[in-house]
Chains A and B, each alone.
Chain A
Amino acid sequence: MQESQNALYSEDSNFKRYFKQLKFSLRDPVLMVSVISVTIIVALFIVIPLFSILRESVEESGKFTLQSYFAIFRSSYDLEIIWNTIKLGIVVASLGTAVAFLFAYATTYLKIPNKKFFKVLSILPMISPPFVISLAAILLFGRSGLITYKLFGVRNDIYGFWGLALTQVLSFFPIGYLMLTNLLQNIDPSVEEAAQALGSNQSRVFRTVTIPLMLPGLANAALLIFIQSLADFGNAIVIGGNFTTMAVQIYQQGIGSYDMQGATALAVVLLMISVLAFYLQNSVIGKKSYITVTGKASKQRVLNANKKVTIPVYVVCMAISVTVVSMYLLVPYGAFVRLWGVDFSFTTRWITYVFTIGMRYIKDTTVLAAMATPISAIMGIVAAYLIVRKEFPGKKALEWSILMAIALPGTVLGLGYVLTYNTPPLILTGTGFILVVALVIRSMPIGTRSAIAALKQIDPSIEEAASICGAGSHKVFLSVTIPLIRPVFFSGLVYSFIRGMTLVSTIIFLVSARWQMLTVAIMNQVDQGLYGAANAYCLVLIAIVGGVMLLMSLFVRTLGINLNEGY
């Protein structure tokens, strides 16, 4: 409907409308300042580096050429890799979203025991560089795996499609979980109770009320998991085996075969796939309305205790949790045994190593991640607010640019930074600043996506009411919007910090002699087969993240935000 109306506008009146919006912005300085600053950051650290990469892919000794792109679409090998990547992305996105929803539903809707355990477990896989999971999968389920071989005597070849799919699902479902719990908590129980009062049974309520209300969230979660699976390099390189994905091929071609032009061209193709996925998601889901929070006082949800639902859900959640736990138990275990696979006697050698040689990595990483955290959480919310609630020229471009920052494989984005910011007018390489920027840009888009999903659930009339009563833009944002979506803000903080501590590929070209990152050190150890030191690093990393999460939740609680409260 809206679309057909838009189509009636002529070019001219379109322009007038933009002009009107711009004038409106001038009347609202806070809005304008935030639009401008978000735009500048996005332009500097997403759009311009992207442009550098694009230029690298079409330039050969100063001349324009599309040679690399032709090469990709002529090579059956490259086409097969592209198909592999998409297939993997679809499988991982569907399974990952399903697992995420199951956990989110179980912890918010069902009356089951061990909820705290599930809550912790479902974010655990985020708190470590992703290759910890693939390594653990090999050690547990590989040909000499503790479970497959030692326990069942099966010589299982974990390398390949299913091994990779398993590790990616486990690595990426937590993001979906965080997003979906926030949304489920935001659904007013009275909506569902009304359906029940009108005679619907539980499964009908689930099918016709809960799921439709969750659609934008589910689609968003699936999109995020899909894109992350596409860009994932850490798992794919460790456990992919003969199954090659685009992110790995980009690395191989650019770093292994010195063919940066071909590699960047492939990266641009990868980016296009992500953009296409985003476009499809947007055009299918984006136009419908899913408002549930309308400002009315609501009550505590009556949890579903129906055994036919709770028992199977509990069993599945438990099985996944136990798998995750057993993977993570390998970390402290590996950190304290003398030699993985050979000598399982106790030693503090690796921990000592980490706190001597590794100390500078630990310090730098914590400092940089702590800085990036508030910036990316705040920016994520502000950007989402602008995108969902405000009208200003270039809004769509802003939304798309932010999404692109996660769609690029990290190595390529890092390379884009080096290409762009190693020469005047702006030299940033070698500073801690560029690392903070990389961390912010890599985690902010996810905060933005989940805040967008949350904001779409909230009726704008609440904010409009405040606005009519005389509150300015910033007042509405701070005292109405933020309180309504504070769990999203909190999980954005947590996520940014975790991401900051565990990001690998983007920063490999950005670490300098002065500023080092822990994950790079872990990757070096894994590369050399020194699992003891790698595990000890991971243990320290997990301990730091755990400690900071605890502090953050205490801090948030003193601010009066109760994370478990419903609306």
Chain B
Amino acid sequence: MKKSIALLFIMVLIVAMTPVFAQGAQERPQTLTVYVGLLEEHGAAICQAFEKATGIKTQYVRMSGGEIYARIRAESQNPQASVWYGGGSLTFIEADNNGLLEHYISPNAAIIDDKFKDPNGAWTGIYSGYLGFYADGDWLKRNNVEMPRTWNDLLNPVFRGEIVMAHPGSSSTAYNMLTTILQLQGEEKGWEYLVRLNENIRQYTKSGSAGGRMVQLRETALTIGYLHDAVAFKREGYEHIVIAAPEDGTGYEIGAVGIIKGAPQLEAAKKFVDFVLTAEAQEIGQTVNALQFLTNPNARPPKEVESIKDTKLIDQDDAWSGANRSAFLNKFNQLTRTAPPN
């Protein structure tokens, strides 16, 4: 008796399982699949809007930029998704160098500034974000310190052990900061600066967003990161956060969209790229707390970032940054002795 109940239980489970095997396999070719490297809500909102505009059924998977790259590479023999939407342009360049991207120049890309797109159409910029500082305002008040205005302000000894930033080896945000310094101050002085800054750094985190979360929870006084993230925290209600863009000039990231080589839904993917370059699609971001600057000049930028829109930007050379990556990282590891303590 007992045994037959158990047997029945197992059989019911096996029967219940069959749809799982079938469904996944069946469903694939009919819908457009997008790998989203942005906020979850942002991905959901864009896919919904695209579906409404074109009638093409769209699904997404959210991952970090590096994860998307690794996955596309692993899947290159039989791509599972057609579009890569969101994530830093450096990762797209790396993917393109490995032949993982389909080249497509969208007619809607014509009005986008040349510095925000690849001339061959491997990727096109959808937004940009500026590097800057953000701090716990209460901490500054308690310690009677002004918010830093330039890169050199960060060297103030009062910040010793209070700055957290990501490690350039693991975070594209931090690597962008490293090359910004080298471009801004020249290589020799730049390295000197990084060594001196190292004295004030308490911790190099793995992920570029971790420092921001630590400021958010008052775990640290100051971090270096993309300002739109900080603005988003502020808008959520974390009002103790103070932001500043370095007055002597700063680097920026470009968020891009691209089509995956061998995309199972190539035509739909092209339509998707056309769509996300339009002003209307770019403005969707603000409704879900994604507060970057937009690449389409006709799109209205989020009003929350207006105060920093005139930030002085450096003439960023991404090709140079990409080519020297391992040399710079090795030098950084050596100079800062970022071998783990303990």
Contact = CB atoms under 8 A, between A and B. Distances in A.
A132 B60 CA distance: 26
A343 interface: yes
Nearest to A419: B74
Interface stretch (B22-30, B246-254, B305-313): B22-30
Interface in B67-88: 67, 69-71, 73-75, 77-78, 80-81
Given A342-B237, A529-B213, 5 more contacts: A143-B218, A237-B206, A242-B340, A255-B70, A525-B40
Contacts, number: 180
A244 interface: yes
Contacts of A8: none
A289 B232 CA distance: 62
B170 A415 contact: no
Interface residues of A, number: 75
A258 B218 contact: no
Contacts of A418: 71, 74-75
Nearest to B221: A143
B111 interface: no
A248 interface: yes
A244 B340 CA distance: 6
A429 B6 CA distance: 32
Contact of A84 (B13, B25, B340): B340
Contacts of B239: 342
Interface in A426-446: 427, 429-433, 436
B24 A433 contact: yes
Interface of B: 2-3, 5-6, 9-10, 13, 16-17, 20-21, 23-25, 27-28, 31, 33-34, 39-41, 44, 59-64, 66-67, 69-71, 73-75, 77-78, 80-81, 91, 94, 167, 169-172, 202-207, 209, 212-213, 216-220, 233, 236-240, 329, 333, 338-342
Contacts of A529: 209, 212-213, 216, 233
A422 B78 contact: yes
Nearest to B216: A529
Given A357-B41, A423-B77, A144 B218 contact: yes
A537 to B, nearest CB: 11
Contact of A144 (B23, B169, B217): B217
Interface of A: 76-77, 80-81, 84, 138-139, 142-144, 157, 159-161, 237, 240-244, 248, 251-252, 254-258, 260, 338-343, 357, 367-368, 370-371, 374, 378, 415, 418-419, 422-423, 427, 429-433, 436, 478, 508-509, 511-516, 520-521, 524-525, 527-530, 555, 558-560
A76 to B, nearest CB: 7
B24 A248 contact: no
A515 B23 CA distance: 10
Given A357-B41, A415-B70, A512 B61 contact: yes
Contact of A338 (B61, B207, B218, B237): B237
